[in-house]
Amino acid sequence: MNRTLDCGIVGCGIAGTAAALMLAGQGHRVTLFEQTDHVGPVGAGVLLQPSGQRVLAEMGLLDALLPKVEPIDQIHAVTETGRDLVRLQYGEFHPGVTGAGLHRGDLFSLLHGQLESAGVRLMLDTKIVRLRDIEHRPTAVDARGQSHGPFDLVIAANGSRSVLRESAGLHAHVIEYDYGALWTVADVAPVRRQLFQIAHGTQQLMGLLPVGGGRCSLFWGMHRNAIDALHRRGFGRWRDDVLRLAPIAEPLLDRIRSFDATRFVTYRHVHLRRSWRGNVVFIGDAVHAMSPHLGQGVNLALQDAQSLSLAIREETSVQTAFRRHSLNRRWSIAYYAGVTAFLTPFFQSNSRLLGIGRNLALPVLCRCRPTRRMMLRTLCGKDAGQMPINPAAHVP
Ligand SMILES: Cc1cc2nc3c(=O)[nH]c(=O)nc-3n(C[C@H](O)[C@H](O)[C@H](O)COP(=O)(O)OP(=O)(O)OC[C@H]3O[C@@H](n4cnc5c(N)ncnc54)[C@H](O)[C@@H]3O)c2cc1C
């Protein structure tokens, strides 16, 4: 669009900050609302796939991030007996391509650190609870009753628990998973250059993801109702449980002394039949939250922001831009949401049968060339072969 737009963005997460930087880069006036009164490098390990790396490269930010990431050459999952379930090498999909293990906080800090110089106005402690006049020039109403705007467009990037879908008249289909994970990060890495997971049936799942700087993130999958009992049993007993399944995690667990160093997160699946109405559009987890088993949350959020900003740059009206963006993203989001929803119970559920089926089927699917290729393509994103960069070349 060849005029300067007033853009309101709700949510200073990965999707919101990326969209804010891209739109400010096009010369639009951007106000970014965040409900918390301070933001910082919070989170644990995330896997930046080639698709997400590509977006950051095109934003000119990847080089600044690379010294902080661990190049990930392979995804390796085994059963409790050490039998291979999945072993996928990124380089097999396209030579030189790798994943990047990183601390979500490092990515957030990088994006957040650019906001001021890009001219984005960040309003902290401003929880947006309602949107008005969404068909024309939307205004955003905060929890104190104060109105902000009117804006030419509002982007709701306020995560899976978005309270704004209702006020845009969009119905979200939400599934709360029974399972979540206990996360921690320590400054020692028992595995290098791989995401390593051990699954015992569908009840126990442990993962180690190195996240750069010699640090490693550990996650321990568990039922959401079991967290209180786990805390009551005490840290030592949990440590024993983890080490029984994964002795390799010992150096990491030696660095943490109590549950204070851990955080329990639950997952939800969010599906919106359409992602926009009037001059309001939803991106990131607000439209398509999913369990983290495919490691795509951050990547899809970055791709959403890029697709939307390109559509806004090239289209002549806000609503044609939203339509183009939503058509552009539709199949990719449907694919990842569908595959993730299908796979999740095979890794975390109450069904023993699904665990047995997974142990039988996954190694075969992984060996068979066409399905192996499909798995790699799912992991990397369809454009990974065009990646201009190779994190491995940048990191000592
Ligand atoms: C603090 C935090 C830590 C995380 N850690 C991990 C992790 O370790 N591993 C992992 O895989 N994923 C993690 N995630 C999730 C991951 O970042 C997302 O799946 C992915 O990046 C997509 O993000 P998003 O920007 O769409 O939503 P989110 O990252 O959820 O960001 C949404 C933002 O909107 C703000 N917000 C919500 N409602 C309102 C409102 N009404 N008004 C104003 N602001 C609002 C929230 O405070 C938040 O800052 C984390 C998310 C957060 C918020």
Let me know: does 119 contact 105? Beta carbons within 8 Å. no
- DSSP-assigned beta bridge partners for residue 100: 48, 71
- Checking if the pLDDT of 90 tops 60, the result is yes
Domain positions in the chain are 6-174+267-394
- Ligand 1 center from residue 282 Cα (angstroms): 14
Give yes or no for a contact between 262 and 183, defined as CB atoms under 8 angstroms apart.
yes
Which residues, other chains included, contact 113 with Cβ-Cβ below 8 Å and sequence gap of 6+? none
Per-residue confidence (pLDDT) for residue 2, from 0 to 100: 86
Provide the pairing of β-strand 45-48 with 99-103.
antiparallel
190: pLDDT strictly greater than 70: yes
* Ligand 1 proximal residues by C-beta, below 6 Å: 10-16, 33-36, 42-44, 46, 104, 127-128, 157-159, 163, 183, 284-286, 292, 297-298, 301
Q: Where are the beta strands (DSSP E) in the chain?
A: 6-10, 29-33, 45-48, 70-72, 74-79, 84-89, 99-103, 121-123, 128-132, 139-142, 147-148, 153-156, 172-186, 194-200, 204-210, 216-223, 263-272, 276-277, 280-282
CATH superfamily for domain 6-174+267-394: FAD/NAD(P)-binding domain (3.50.50.60)
The answer, yes or no, to whether residue 392 has pLDDT greater than 50, is: no
- Nearest ligand 1 atom to alpha carbon 295: 11
Distance 319 CA to ligand 1 centre (A): 26
Residues 6+ apart with CB under 8 A from 217: 44, 45, 101, 103, 183, 184, 185, 208, 209, 210, 211
pLDDT higher than threshold 90 for residue 311: yes
Q: At what angle do helices 352-367 and 369-380 cross, to 10 degrees?
A: 100
Residue closest by Cα to atom 39 of ligand 1: 158
The residue contributing the CA closest to ligand 1 atom 2 is 43
Q: What is the pLDDT of residues 246-264, one digit of tens each?
A: 999 999 999 998 999 999 9
Torsion, Cα of 382, 388, 394, 395 (10° steps): 0
164 CA: nearest ligand 1 atom:
41
Residues in the chain: 396
Q: For the chain, how are helix, strand and coil distributed in percent, rounded to 5?
A: 45, 25, 30
Residue-wise pLDDT tens digits, 192-211: 999 999 999 888 899 999 99
Strand order from edge to edge, sheet including 84-89: 84-89, 74-79, 194-200, 204-210, 216-223, 172-186, 263-272
Predicted confidence at residue 393, as pLDDT, reads 44
**Residue to probe by mutation, ligand 1, list 47, 103, 123, 285, most atoms within 8 Å of CB:** 285
pLDDT value at position 395?
A: 40
Q: Quick one: pLDDT at residue 351? A: 87
More confident residue, 146 or 93: 146
pLDDT band at 152 (very low <50, low <70, confident <90, very high): very high
What's the gap in Å between 358 CA and the centre of ligand 1? 31
